[in-house]
Amino acid sequence: MKKVSFYICFTLSIVLNTSAQNWDINTLHQINSWDGKFIRNYNKVISRTEPYIAVGVPVSMAIAAWIKHDKNLLKNAIYVGTSVAGTVAVTYGIKHLVDRKRPYDRYPNRVHAYSHESSPSFPSSHTATAFALATSLSIKYPKWYIIAPSAFWACSVGVSRINEGVHYPSDVIVGAAAGAGCAVLNIYINRWLNKWLFGN
């Protein structure tokens, strides 16, 4: 396990410190420069919605399941909630392992920060939890009217974090992959969890 962790960290450090970084900062600079009033306000609002929606959706599902005495809805609420919670744990672990500086700290002359964060940059936990929520909802409710708006919202969160100047595009891409991956992996974890909680 230690060897695997070492190789992951080594590979990430190479990716983050080579020519790919030029693409990263150039793309960030371009998206961060979108300064139309509508775009700026839209991205600010979308970025702020992430924690409320990511927590609010599974909690609302659980409350509705309790009111209706709907065991299947409760199972889905637990799956969605644990997908988001697991993603938070994974991304914050990676953040502190990699410890990448925020772009506004590393490139103060090229990046204008419209908000500031206290945690490291890589990966984007906002994007990760947004994609965990969107993916888990899409898995449980594979209807276009669930998939399309949730995917659009998750992608908007990712772009908003770049526009706000708090993340590199690579932070967002890896965050999206981590969130979606955690949701898919959680399918198998929840099979065990359902047996433990519900006996089936």
Q: How far apart are CA 200 and CA 193, in angstroms?
A: 9
Residue 66 has pLDDT above 50, yes or no: yes
Percent of the chain with pLDDT over 90: 64
Give the percent of the chain with pLDDT over 70: 89
pLDDT at residue number 150: 96
pLDDT bucket at 4, cuts 50 / 70 / 90: very low
What confidence tier does 8 reach under pLDDT thresholds 50, 70, 90?
low
The whole-number average pLDDT for the span 104-109 is 89
| Residue 87 in this model has a pLDDT that exceeds 70 | yes
Q: What is the pTM of this model?
A: 0.85
pLDDT at residue 144, rounded to an integer? 95
Is a pLDDT exceeding 90 seen at residue 36?
A: no
Look at residue 79 and tell me whether its pLDDT is greater than 50: yes
Average pLDDT estimate for 28-37: 88
Looking at per-residue pLDDT, the higher value among 198 and 155 belongs to: 155
Which residue, 81, 169, 199, 178, is CA-closest to 131? 178
117-132 pLDDT, tens digit per residue, is: 888 999 999 999 999 9
Other beta carbons less than 10 A from residue 6's beta carbon: 10
The pLDDT, as a whole number, for residue 45 is 93
* pLDDT value, residue 21: 67
Give residue 126's pLDDT. 95
pLDDT at 13: 56
Maximum Cα–Cα distance across the chain: 58
**Over the chain, what is the mean pLDDT?**
88
Instruction: Please report, for residues 77, 91, 121, 124, 191, the alpha-carbon distance to residue 95 in angstroms, rounded to integers and kept in the order given.
Output: 27, 6, 7, 8, 29
Q: Is pLDDT of 137 > 70? A: yes
